[in-house]
A and B are shown apart, each in its own frame.
Chain A
Amino acid sequence: MAAIIQKLNLQKTADKTGKPVSYYIGLVIRYLVLFAIGLILFSPFILAFLGTFKTDAEIIAYPPKFLPLHWLWENWAKNWHTDIGRGGNFPRWLFNTAFLSVTVAGLEVIFCSLAAYAFARMKFPGRDLVFSFMLATMMIPGAVTLIPSYVLMSKLKLINSFFSLIIPGAVSAGGIFMLTQFFKSVPQELVEAAHMDGASHLQIYKDIILPLSRPALLTILILQFQGMWNSFLAPLLYLNSADKMVLNVALSIFQQTYKAQWNLTLVGAMFNAFPVLIIFFIFSKYYIEGISYTGVKG
């Protein structure tokens, strides 16, 4: 009760400060604009989601109907039971994608933070040299290493092995750069005090730096998870046997096999999009911090 009265009082004072009517009109217009842009940007997902329930004929009919005539839930089941033989089935691809994304993101956090600690908190000969070397490697366009990497992978017999994506994915210059900047901002006194107490570098890294950098580590984790989940060209090159494919590669095959059956392809697309969208919804703050910090997606 008291809370309501307080609220009413607050409202009164707000009215007393006298926001002009034009302020409220501006507010309404702003939200309308926001909703309109949001609707346009989200429309592919809405239309595709509705499309997954349409029949084979309906999905390519003209003029397209917004809502499906009959809601065909079977499309989702049919897609889930896709099996192209030789161990290639939909749950398997989903598992491959999730496994790779989690592994790569996890390893990246460990190895990048180790390297970043050395750059940010240790003094040793060659540090600036190695750091500038790292910055230089960030400038190399991915297209250049693409073909020779494929040759190297086949020499190491890593084609159709998850290691072909896990090993190169386990470190990234962008991640190290970002964490280095973050670790530098940890107060020097804390680290020095630990040094006085005789703590080793590994202890300082583990007990002081890592706990204090949880948001930055989480950012790397999310960005890398999403980057691996969405990557296409590398898995297309390295993982092409039916049981090792990731969802993105499988989807491109769906599209070629199902041809006009866009409803089934779209179900696959939804299965691919939802996990990332849900994770983004939960961790959007960290994701945005990461993007605005490094300017690099994935």
Chain B
Amino acid sequence: MQKKVDSVQSQRTIAAIISFLLIFIFLMVIAVVNAPTMGGPKVMASSKTYLAEVKRTALPFLGVVGIGALAIGFVVARMVYRVWPNKKNRMTMLAAYGFLAPYLIVTLVFTVGVILFALYISFNNYDIFTPPQWVGLANYLKAFDGFVDPTQKDFIQSLYNVFWYSIIVIPLQTSIAILLAVLVNAPIRMKRFFRTVFYAPSVTSSVVITLIFMWFYLKTGYINFFISKFFGLFGITWQNVLWLGDPRGLIQLIVTALGGNIPSTQWYLRGPSIAWMAIMFQNIFTTAPTFMIMFLAAMQDINPTLYEAAAIDGASNWHKFWKITLPLLRPIILLVVVLGTIGTLQVFDQVYLATSGGPLGTSLTPVYLTFREAMGQQGPIRMGYAAALAFILAIIIFCFTYLQRRFIERGTELY
């Protein structure tokens, strides 16, 4: 009896040690693969030259990751130690992690590993071809150089642009989505037909929609044509606009109309440019139907007896909407606003295709800037700087979603 207990005891110790080693080695392999090293054909020629390079340049990185790997390995080993004596528990744990293995491996390599790498190089100057150089917070500080040096204004301007983008697009797309949902939320025939037609802009690729809109926005395109027709009804002649190439800002236009002038050094007073607003319009066009689907689903979950009771009390449709539908939609509104914020802060496809950040940087976005810096499309490859920009953006997104959650949830409590 005593002997059996002993053998179980030694078995579980061995199992714990083995699982600790396996986890530790696995995490370190991920770290080595992700380690910031010099690239180039010479280094990448064989695993031997690559490992030599890792040893030369990435030991501090491996050290930091190693501490984390030790901790995770310890936690796992403790779990194994606990479940080992019971055969059923042991097999269940083995099966469960077997089921989870594809997800865990891919996520650890392509998400966690990649983020650690990005965090590390954001403190370095790194161009893939030479070893990373530690520069501390310089990349993060450089992002905000635009406040003092107007030639470095790109990142500041991209934040300024997405700020306008968010405060115009989010309220519009949310309210249009609710409006559409109210209109459609009734038993209708040919549901499938209407669904397909309504959601066509949001299910097709943003590349397709952007290309079609680029054609619409030509100086000789349909947008100018329809606007001129519309103004023609009132006898006003419309000067065709080069939509995607017009840097004039909204506030600038108003000030100019009133006889004032905003000099180009004060670009931050000009407001969103015509080109930028054209992209906003296109974006609302494609996202509003998607969000409408979500509102529609939520509306159909509302208990019909609420409306019946309200009808007995003599409430009008208008009242029903404000007093029943809207308050009950609050959680979905929160979700739509949060998703909208995350989406609008990460605009890329439209900018890459339609404007490349122009005219005069009025459609630059942080993600486009990250892409441009990392690919070296304008000047040298600056991976570290690009990574720092991406992290600043991530922090902004986290802050906004957190604030919105707090803000809107507090609003809900009032009901």
Q: Does B157 contact A (CB under 8 A)?
A: no
Chain A residues with Cβ below 8 Å from B407 are: none
- Name A's B-contacting residues (CB within 8 A): 30-31, 33-34, 37-38, 41-42, 44-45, 47-48, 51, 59-64, 111-112, 114-115, 117-118, 122-127, 130, 134, 137, 139-152, 154-157, 167-168, 170-171, 173, 176, 200-202, 205, 226, 229-230, 232-233, 236, 248, 251-252, 255, 262, 265-266, 268-269, 272-273, 276-277, 280-281, 284, 287-288, 291-292, 295-297
User: B211 to A117, Cβ gap below 8 A?
Assistant: no
Nearest-Cβ distance from residue A115 to partner chain B, whole angstroms: 4
Q: Which residue of A lies closest to B186 (CB)?
A: A30
Q: CA–CA, A157 to B43, complex, Å?
A: 12
Cross-interface CB contact of A291 among B218, B294, B352, cutoff 8 Å: B294
User: A41 to B197, Cβ gap below 8 A?
Assistant: yes
User: B106 to A168, Cβ gap below 8 A?
Assistant: yes
User: B205 to A229, Cβ gap below 8 A?
Assistant: yes
Q: List 9 A-B contacts (CB under 8 A).
A: A30-B186, A30-B188, A47-B222, A125-B83, A130-B100, A140-B394, A147-B118, A147-B370, A148-B114
User: A297 to B290, Cβ gap below 8 A?
Assistant: yes
A sample of 10 more A-B contacts (CB under 8 A), given A38-B198, A167-B110, A273-B205, is A44-B212, A44-B213, A64-B222, A125-B83, A148-B387, A229-B205, A269-B207, A287-B199, A291-B294, A292-B293
Asked, given contacts A248-B205, A269-B211, A281-B196, whether A171 binds B222 with beta carbons under 8 Å apart, the answer is no
User: B390 to A143, Cβ gap below 8 A?
Assistant: yes
Nearest-Cβ distance from residue B344 to partner chain A, whole angstroms: 12
Chain B residues with Cβ below 8 Å from A140 are: 111, 115, 394
Q: CA–CA, A41 to B222, complex, Å?
A: 15
Chain A residues with Cβ below 8 Å from B75 are: 126
Asked, given contacts A145-B114, A152-B117, A251-B208, whether A288 binds B297 with beta carbons under 8 Å apart, the answer is yes
Interface residues of B in 271-301 (CB under 8 A from A): 285, 289-290, 293-294, 296-298
Q: Does B328 contact A (CB under 8 A)?
A: no
- Output the residue of A171, A176, A226 with the most chain B CB within 10 A: A171
Chain A residues with Cβ below 8 Å from B298 are: 292
Chain B residues with Cβ below 8 Å from A248 are: 205, 207
Q: Which residue of B lies closest to A256 (CB)?
A: B353
Q: Which residue of A lies closest to B383 (CB)?
A: A147
Chain B residues with Cβ below 8 Å from A150 are: 374
Chain A residues with Cβ below 8 Å from B110 are: 145, 149, 152, 167-168
Q: Does B264 contact A (CB under 8 A)?
A: no
User: A144 to B393, Cβ gap below 8 A?
Assistant: yes
Q: Does B102 contact A (CB under 8 A)?
A: yes
User: B104 to A122, Cβ gap below 8 A?
Assistant: no
User: B220 to A60, Cβ gap below 8 A?
Assistant: yes
Q: Which residue of B lies closest to A117 (CB)?
A: B99
Q: Does B9 contact A (CB under 8 A)?
A: no
Q: Which residue of B lies closest to A230 (CB)?
A: B205
Q: CA–CA, A134 to B213, complex, Å?
A: 37
Q: Does B329 contact A (CB under 8 A)?
A: no
User: B115 to A145, Cβ gap below 8 A?
Assistant: yes
Q: CA–CA, A58 to B359, complex, Å?
A: 27
User: B294 to A171, Cβ gap below 8 A?
Assistant: no
User: A37 to B208, Cβ gap below 8 A?
Assistant: no
Nearest-Cβ distance from residue B242 to partner chain A, whole angstroms: 13
User: A269 to B102, Cβ gap below 8 A?
Assistant: no
Q: Which residue of A lies closest to B50 (CB)?
A: A155
Nearest-Cβ distance from residue B403 to partner chain A, whole angstroms: 15
Nearest-Cβ distance from residue A258 to partner chain B, whole angstroms: 11
Nearest-Cβ distance from residue A201 to partner chain B, whole angstroms: 5
Interface residues of B in 102-127 (CB under 8 A from A): 102-104, 106-107, 109-115, 117-118, 121
Q: CA–CA, A296 to B346, complex, Å?
A: 15
Q: CA–CA, A41 to B219, complex, Å?
A: 22
Q: Does B128 contact A (CB under 8 A)?
A: yes
Chain A residues with Cβ below 8 Å from B103 are: 111-112, 114-115, 134, 171, 176
Q: Does B244 contact A (CB under 8 A)?
A: no
Nearest-Cβ distance from residue B223 to partner chain A, whole angstroms: 10
Asked, given contacts A148-B121, A284-B196, A295-B294, whether A124 binds B391 with beta carbons under 8 Å apart, the answer is no
Say which one of B63-71, B88-96, B146-154, B245-253 lies at the interface with A.
B88-96
Q: Does B230 contact A (CB under 8 A)?
A: no
User: B294 to A143, Cβ gap below 8 A?
Assistant: no
Cross-interface CB contact of B106 among A42, A44, A170, cutoff 8 Å: A170
Q: Does B183 contact A (CB under 8 A)?
A: yes
Q: Which residue of A lies closest to B229 (CB)?
A: A63
Q: CA–CA, A141 to B33, complex, Å?
A: 22
User: A62 to B220, Cβ gap below 8 A?
Assistant: yes
Cross-interface CB contact of B183 among A30, A115, A200, cutoff 8 Å: A30
Q: Does B25 contact A (CB under 8 A)?
A: no
Q: CA–CA, A190 to B194, complex, Å?
A: 39
Interface residues of B in 56-97 (CB under 8 A from A): 75-76, 79, 82-83, 89, 92-93, 95-97
